[in-house]
Amino acid sequence: MRVLICGATGNIGRLTVNQALSAGHEVTALARSPQKLDNQSNLNKAQGDVRDAASIEAAMVGQEAVITVFGAPLNWSTVTSVPDLCTTGTRNIISAMKQQEVKRLICMTGIGAGDSREHGRFVFDNLILPLLLGRIYADKNRQEREVMQSNLDWTIVRPAELTDESETDDYRVLTDLKGQKAKTIARTNVADFLVKQVKSDRFLHQTPLITK
């Protein structure tokens, strides 16, 4: 399939690009600096910013599915004011998808978004999220609402706290969070799971939380 990956040069973005290419997809990698990616067969690079609707519209032509893995960085600005990167970028992506009649959207947010709040580890739930990530997650929550209201074939993937551990088959995919607590998840596992959703409707219109 022809897959557009938005946020392709981030830590998970790079892994997702590689996983999608390994799975045999034709990938368009959208990023502000796509030249940071290695040249590979079946990889098309598109320079753009998700907040720039025109660059999204240009990259969307001919696509069959979209994976979004971008997010606001943790810095002084996002600690003290609410960013709008995820909301605005996702709104632009959804608009371009509808214009080009692209239906499949896989959107990565994170543990703490929506009803996954308070299902993480104690330190994350009680210190990291409220003190450092609160405003970033306000943006992610608005992003999720944009996706859920889009009428697209969407899946929202919420990874647990991210690590650089090796990929493993021993992780859980949770859709019923009652009584559940997430731990961590390897970035390589997140990329693998995102790419697998391109051809699967197992979690269509669901918000799976992935964790060890």
CA atoms within 13 A on the CB side of 107: 31
177: how many CB neighbours lie within 10 A of its CB? Answer: 17
pLDDT score, position 80: 64
Question: Mapping DSSP to helix (H, G, I), strand (E, B) and coil, where does residue 133 land?
Answer: helix
Residue 163: both structure tokens together: 């690590």
Domains of the chain: total = 1
Q: What is the pLDDT of residues 76-122, one digit of tens each?
A: 665 566 579 999 999 999 999 999 999 999 999 999 999 999 999 99
pLDDT score, position 81: 64
Q: What is the pLDDT of residues 15-34, one digit of tens each?
A: 999 999 999 999 999 999 99
pLDDT score, position 76: 63
Where residue 62 sits, what CATH number does that domain have? 3.40.50.720
Q: What is the pLDDT of residues 117-168, one digit of tens each?
A: 999 999 999 999 999 999 999 999 999 999 999 999 999 999 999 999 988 8
Is the predicted pLDDT of residue 53 greater than 80, yes or no? yes
Q: What residues make up the domain containing 111?
A: 2-211
The separation between the first and the last C-alpha atoms of the chain, rounded to the nearest angstrom, is 29
Handedness of CA 146, 74, 112, 163 (dihedral sign): positive
Is the predicted pLDDT of residue 8 greater than 60, yes or no? yes
**pTM given for the model:** 0.95
pLDDT category of residue 75 using cuts at 50, 70 and 90: confident
What's the CA dihedral at 67, 42, 72, 118 to 10 degrees? 40
